[in-house]
Amino acid sequence: MNLGPHAAFILAAWAAGLVVVAGLVAWVILDFRAQKRVLGDLEAHGVTRRSAAAIKEPA
């Protein structure tokens, strides 16, 4: 692929695209793991949501 005399601009644009998209993907994955970890810790300490508690303890 010959990018001609403006190759640096084309490569810079696509490199930025790659970095930003990779950053967004990493953000959603790491955030998901963090929330799941905290939820797991809370549930391990016996903390449950009110709606979940209501399902477990029917009147």
> How is residue 47 written in tokens?
């903390």
Measure the CA–CA gap between 24 and 30, rounded to whole angstroms: 10
Does position 14 interact with other proteins (CB under 8 A)? The reply is yes
From residue 4, alpha-carbon distances to 8, 9, 18, 40, 42 in Å are 9, 10, 21, 54, 57
Among 5, 56, 57, 59, binds other proteins (CB under 8 A): 5
Does position 45 interact with other proteins (CB under 8 A)? The reply is yes
**Residue numbers at the binding site for other proteins (CB under 8 A):** 1-7, 9-10, 12-14, 16-17, 20-21, 23-25, 27-29, 31-32, 35-36, 38-39, 42, 45, 47-50
